[in-house]
Structures are given as structure tokens and as C-alpha cells.
Amino acid sequence: MLCYEISLSYSKKIDNEEEQNEFTRQEKMTRLNNKLFKLDNKDICHAFVAEYEDVMRLVCVMDFTALPHEQKYIEKICRIVEKELKFDGVCIIEKNEITLETFGSLIETAEDNSFINRKLYRIYQKITPETFGYRAYKVSEDVVECGRFSKADAMREARSIMADESLIEEITRIYDSRNQKKFYGFPVHYCITSEGMGAAMPMVKLLVKALHARNRLPGRRITFVTDISSNFYDEEEFVKLCRRSAGSSVLIELKGEDGNHGIYAASFDRVINFIMNVVANCKQKTQFFFVQNVNYEGFSNNLLSRIREEVQLVHLHEGSGNKNNARKYLSRLIESSRMKDLADKEAFSFLPEKITYRPHDVHGAFENWRNVCLREKAYPAYSNMIVATAPIKKKKRDSNYQKLQEMVGLSRVKELCDEIISSFKMQKVRERYGLDEQDICRHMIFTGNPGSAKTTVARLLCETLNEEGVLETGRLVECGRSDLVGKYVGWTAQQVKRKFRDAAGGMLFIDEAYSLVDNSHSFGEEAINTIVQEMENHRNNVIVVFAGYPDRMEKFIESNEGLKSRIAFHLDFPDYDENELLEILKNMMDKRQLVMDEDAIPVCRELFHKTCDVPDFGNGRYVRNVLEQAILRQGKRLIGNDGIGTMRKITKEQTQTLTADDFMVDTEAFLKNSRKNEINIGFIA
């Protein structure tokens, strides 16, 4: 469904007394709208007059399939307007695509002016979505401005926003001369990985402009669905929203309402199933964008791993650049803002000192500049205003290296990470002095049981190497067997090569790598051979990390001599002991502003002591599940079945304190449910 505001010009015929009567004018407009409504068909839904001045303003709502017939339909409307209002020369002077929210506002205007009757008003109201208020998610809209947009324009804009190679490749595909310049459906949908919506939005708008210019996307409206909560699983308005967006785009942010659902994500299973069903039903008529925030993964990994069964996804990543690129991008953001007349060279001082910049760094600098500029240049009367009676201690953001060193336990892992960082930095020093490059392998193997922090260490190590200028992007691309092994002949090699391209300038993290070795003749061996080949082709810009159980990983490396010769570092992640698990629990609670009373400490220590004797107990994941269960028990203990009356009596201290009773968990039953991913919303006796 596409919405347009259309302006018509006209010439009045000879005035008469009847025309001066306001009541008669409203009658004529109502009669006109009733006639226009009778023109409706399944393709072009509604057209009605929204204003009666020197210029007539119509709102036209149509199915995108009716676009080829739009001009003929509007000409018919013009003739009806001439006949009913006794005007001459009615013709279109302007046509603009609008949002559904704007459409709703124009309905209100028409109703306020008594240009439509109550019956039509109620019918038109149904077109406007009800999701702009608070629900289990938030909705907003935008229409992308787009004129003539050539491939050269698209490439120029991509470079200006520090685009990643994955976006450049997609622009090339969109403008490929072999493609039809006619809309038949959406062959692919998009997943954008970035560190925030600020960095993702320029990529989305660029793609919309390019697709629209090539007639691949009829409409320029984007509907944003954000802050999705765990209650988002039976939203009929979301279904209607996606259907109304036929011919245009829907962007779904996958971080959820708070972006941190941890390992206890069972409550989002219904959300994932719901989104998958809606996307599967609307994928042919609606263009979907999925935005994954690398800092707040939310339910994105679970959704993306499963939605590939329904749609073909093109994965795009946030790009990077040097300081000069960042300065140009910042200048572009300032120039397009309302405050461009207040800009000066001091704006560049808001960029952090780094070797490699990403778009989110530039957007952060722009936000900081704008806030300071508002206070000190736009409204200087507030520049020296004291906004707080007590000084606010700003927490210094730790570097990724500091975060790595502050992790619980893993002393040998930290030592090896120091060695890895030092060896990579030494290679950079040799390059600076023009010495021969040492042909040192940089690939790694991480062995350890689930929950032993392999992925977390890989992410922090990757970002640390980026901070030190060793890796260009610091991007960590996680994948498993299903991401690398194709279903048909010729697919596997392409999928592996695509993952290496996605990880360019960063790390490719292959979890449970031993699953590639099997006797099922399902292209696992082809995947391994292609990985070895790509490790050589990308030896200077991709570090591959193989991860999995210690015993199985040993057999995996022995299965291919090429793999064995290319592994430089082996990091073994031991299971945590009871004291380390207790420390991890305290850290998790601290982040959630929770504390445990003194009686709970020995209970938790005893619980973890028993757990450590159980094979594959889950390490940090188990601790997180224990905490989630304790929080549920706390709610039952404090509120029970007494409802709101009890809620009003609960103190802040009580809400922040977990007691020994909250941690009374049946270890064996709990671990059994955890392994099956069937952690119940309830309490284990």
C-alpha cells in the first residue's frame, strides 16, 4: 500500500451567490468525496479531497500493482472535480509520497472541515495503523527523498558513509545491467550488522534509493519496528503493518526492548516464531531489513539462524575508514543538519583518537558536537548553567583489553592473549621499518566446554587488535556448520567464501568446527578444503578461530594437514571452579543492580560446588540461568498472589536483594532442563 499527497491546480468559473455559502461548499465537498469513494477498486483503494483552497489537496492510497494505471485514474478524478465543483483546467502540479501517519492526519483535517461524512471517516481511519502509541514494540516511519539516482551517485554516497565492501558489492548487483527494470518481487532481504541504528540507517536509505531507482522497490516509505518486548508474539497490528507495507520497506531492530536478554531467551521463542511467520507471508511484497546490534545482540542470533529457512538474506556490515574519511563523514552530517551555520573546525575535535574509525564513531562525535553546540553557540545563556547540585562521576569506559584482563579466571588464556597481541604488534613495527614481513600464521584454535567464554574472549581479542591497528575493522563473524555447508553442489564453496568476505579486516569464528568432519557426504570435506584455501587467500586480513570441545577439536585438526600447519595459537579454556562461578554471579548481579544477602553466599557456593562435578554443566551460562531463576523466585516471594496491594509495600532494597531461598535450586533437574533449552517459567522444587 502506497500513500501519496497530490496537489491539483484549477481555474474557477464565474462566481455565483451559491459559491459564497460556506455550508453549501461543505455539502459539495462531501458529495464529491462520496463520488470519489465509489471509484474505489481492489487496486486503488481511496482518494479524497483533504483541503479546499487555491490548491486542491488529495490523498491517494493504492496498491503498488496499480502504479501503471495511476495517471489514468487521477485524470478521471480531475474530470469529476471539474464537473462537481464547476472548475476549469484541473490538473496535477505536485505529487509526494507520504507516511501512513501523515495520511491519518489528513483524514482528521478532512473530517474537521466537514469534507467527509462520519461513515467515510471511519472507513479511512481503518487504514491508519494503531501502532504509533505504546504497545509491545515501537513504530515510526520515514519517506526517503529520491530523485534520479545512478550507480555513480550510489557509489559516491556509499564512499561518503564509509561503506563496507559488502555494501559496495550489493550496489553493484542492484545496478547490474542483466537485471529487469521492473518489479516482480523481492529476491533478497537484508541483514545489517552495526553498532547502532545511527550507523545502520544511512545504509538502509542508500539501498532504498538504489532499489527504487532501478524499479526494484515501488515505494520509498520505511516503517521502523524497534524496542520489541517479549510480549511481541500475537500482535495483529504488526501483521496489518507488514501487509500495508506491500511495495515498501519494513525495518526490524533485533535487540529487543533493552537489548540484553542473555542466555535466558526462552521467552523470546514465541517472538521469533511470530516474526518468522509474518515475514514468510509478506516476503514477496514487502522489503525487509533486519538490523543486528553487535553490542546488544538480543534475540538476533536465534532469529537469523532460523529465518534463513524462509528468506534469502544479504548480510551487510558497518564499514570503516581512516581519520580523513571520518572527518569527511562528520562534515557531511553537519552540513545536512539544521546547525550547519554554527559549524567550525572545532567540530573535528569531537572525533576520538583512533587509527581506524567506524561510522558509529562519527555518529557519536556528531551527537556530542550537536549537544555542545546547542548549549554554547545556539543558546549561550545556558553554557555556564549548573545542572546538578552534586558532581556526577562519569565512569571511564574501559578498553577492550582491560575488559579482557578483568574477566574472571582464565589466567593462562590472558597470558596467551598478551603474547598474541605482542607478536601481531611486532609485525606492524617491522612493516614500519621496511623489514621483511615474517610469514607467521595468525589463525587460532579455542578449546573448552560450553560457557567457558570462548566467544567472549574472541570478540574482545578481535576488538583489541583493532584498537591496536592490527585488524582494520575488528569485526567478529560467527558461524557454524549450517552457515558453511550448502545443500547442493557448488553452494558450499560460495558460502565459505562469502563468510571470509564478511569477516575481512576481522575474525571468522567457526563454532563446533569438528561438525564439518562427518561421513554423511554432505559437502563437509569441501567446506574444510575451501576454508584452508581461503585462509591462505586472506592470510593478511582475516584471522580464523576454530572453537569446540577439546577432544573433538584435536581430531578435527588432525583430519586435514593444511589446517594443522596454519594454526599458530592454541588457547584452552578450563572449566570454572566454584569460587570463580560465585564471582561471575556477583558480576552479573552488579550489572543488574542486584545484591545477595549474607545467607545466600554459602548457599550459592555449595550449589556451584555440586555443579562443578557434573560434566558439561555450562559454566557461565549455567550461572546466568541460575540468576534468572532466582529473579523469578524473588518475584514469587515478594508478590505471590496478592497483586497490586503488595507491590505498593515493596521497598527499593527488597527489589534489589536476593535471598538464600531464591537460590534453592535442584541442580540435577535444572541442568537437565538447561541442556534441553527447556528452562520453564516457574520454580523447581
Q: How many CB atoms lie within 10 A of CB 650?
A: 11
Which grid cell is 310? 524462509
Would you say 237 and 244 are in contact if contact means Cβ atoms under 8 Å apart? no
Q: How many angstroms separate the CA atoms of 78 and 56, rounded?
A: 10
Report the side by side order of strands in the sheet with 287-293.
Answer: 138-143, 221-226, 249-253, 287-293, 189-194, 313-317
For every residue of 123-139, DSSP letters joined together read: HHHTTS-STTSSSSSEE
What is the model's pLDDT at position 52? Answer: 59
Quickly state the pLDDT bin for 391 (edges 50, 70, 90): very low
What is the model's pLDDT at position 668? Answer: 59
Which grid cell is 100? 501512513
pLDDT score of 291 more than 90: yes
What is the model's pLDDT at position 389? Answer: 44
Would you say 442 and 543 are in contact if contact means Cβ atoms under 8 Å apart? yes
What is the model's pLDDT at position 683? Answer: 33
138-317: what fold?
Rossmann fold (3.40.50)
Q: Tell me the average pLDDT across 81-99.
A: 82
Q: How many angstroms separate the CA atoms of 84 and 89, rounded?
A: 13
pLDDT score of 98 more than 80: yes
pLDDT score of 434 more than 60: yes
401-573: what fold?
Rossmann fold (3.40.50)
Q: Tell me the average pLDDT across 458-487.
A: 83
Q: How many angstroms separate the CA atoms of 452 and 623, rounded?
A: 11
H or E element, residue 169: helix 165-174
Would you say 257 and 228 are in contact if contact means Cβ atoms under 8 Å apart? yes
What is the model's pLDDT at position 179? Answer: 92
What is the model's pLDDT at position 287? Answer: 95
Q: How many angstroms separate the CA atoms of 685 and 677, rounded?
A: 18
Q: Using H for helix, E for strand and C for coil, what is the string for 204-258?
A: HHHHHHHHHHCCCCCCCEEEEEECCCCCCCCCHHHHHHHHHCCCCEEEEECCCCC
Quick one: the chain helix, strand, coil %, rounded to 5? Answer: 50, 15, 35
H or E element, residue 620: helix 620-638
315 - beta bridge partners?
Answer: 191
What is the model's pLDDT at position 670? Answer: 55
Domain locations in the chain as residue ranges = 2-125, 138-317, 323-381, 401-573, 578-675
pLDDT score of 263 more than 60: no
Would you say 484 and 527 are in contact if contact means Cβ atoms under 8 Å apart? yes
> Which residue has 607478536 as its cell numbers?
423
Q: How many angstroms separate the CA atoms of 187 and 217, rounded?
A: 11
What is the model's pLDDT at position 481? Answer: 85
pLDDT score of 539 more than 90: no
Phi, psi of 477 (to 5 degrees): -105, 115
Q: How many angstroms separate the CA atoms of 206 and 161, rounded?
A: 10
Within its chain, how far is the Cα of 319 from the centroid? 15
The DSSP secondary-structure symbol of 187 reads S
For every residue of 578-599, DSSP letters joined together read: HHHHHHHHHHHHHHTT-EE-TT
Would you say 523 and 486 are in contact if contact means Cβ atoms under 8 Å apart? yes
What is the model's pLDDT at position 104? Answer: 81
426 to 27, 211, 420, 430, 433: CA distances (angstroms): 84, 46, 10, 6, 11
Query: Which amino acid is present at 32?
Result: L
The DSSP secondary-structure symbol of 573 reads E
Quickly state the pLDDT bin for 551 (edges 50, 70, 90): confident
Q: Tell me the average pLDDT across 64-88.
A: 78
pLDDT score of 50 more than 80: no
List pLDDT tens digits, range 595-636: 888 888 888 888 888 877 777 677 778 888 888 888 888 888
Would you say 26 and 113 are in contact if contact means Cβ atoms under 8 Å apart? yes
- CATH numeric code, 578-675: 1.10.8.60
Q: Using H for helix, E for strand and C for coil, what is the string for 14-47?
A: CCCHHHHCHHHHHHHHHHHHHHHHCCCCCCEEEE
Please name the residue ranges forming H helices in 448-577.
454-467, 481-484, 491-502, 524-537, 550-558, 561-566
Share of the chain above pLDDT 70, in %: 84
pLDDT score of 192 more than 90: yes
What is the model's pLDDT at position 53? Answer: 62
Which grid cell is 487? 545443500
Would you say 317 and 199 are in contact if contact means Cβ atoms under 8 Å apart? no
Residue that wins the pLDDT comparison between 139 and 539: 139
pLDDT score of 532 more than 70: yes
Q: Tell me the average pLDDT across 181-210.
A: 92
Q: 197-201, 496-500, 681-685 — which is least confidently predicted?
A: 681-685
List pLDDT tens digits, range 57-70: 888 888 887 777 77
Mean pLDDT value across the chain:
80
pLDDT score of 156 more than 90: yes
Phi, psi of 352 (to 5 degrees): -70, 155
CATH class of 2-125: alpha beta
Quickly state the pLDDT bin for 396 (edges 50, 70, 90): very low
Q: Is 639 exposed, middle or buried (0-12, 13-18, 19+ CB in 10 A)?
A: middle
What is the model's pLDDT at position 16? Answer: 54
Q: Do domains 138-317 and 401-573 have the same CATH topology?
A: yes
Q: Tell me the average pLDDT across 75-92.
A: 80
Q: Tell me the average pLDDT across 240-244.
A: 88
List pLDDT tens digits, range 297-320: 778 877 887 887 788 899 998 888
User: If we measure between CA atoms, which residue out of 305, 300, 370 comes closest to residue 333?
Assistant: 370
User: If we measure between CA atoms, which residue out of 546, 491, 538 comes closest to residue 517?
Assistant: 546
Range with the largest mean pLDDT of 35-49, 94-108, 431-445: 94-108
Reduced to 3 states (helix: H, G, I; strand: E, B; else coil), residue 506 is strand
Reported as half-sphere exposure (CB side, CA atoms, 13 A), residue 586 has a value of 14
User: If we measure between CA atoms, which residue out of 62, 459, 385 comes closest to residue 221?
Assistant: 62
pLDDT score of 147 more than 70: yes
Q: Tell me the average pLDDT across 214-239.
A: 87
What is the model's pLDDT at position 644? Answer: 53
What is the model's pLDDT at position 212? Answer: 94
Which grid cell is 470? 592490527
What is the model's pLDDT at position 666? Answer: 63
Range with the largest mean pLDDT of 111-125, 415-429, 433-447, 494-508: 494-508
Share of the chain above pLDDT 90, in %: 17
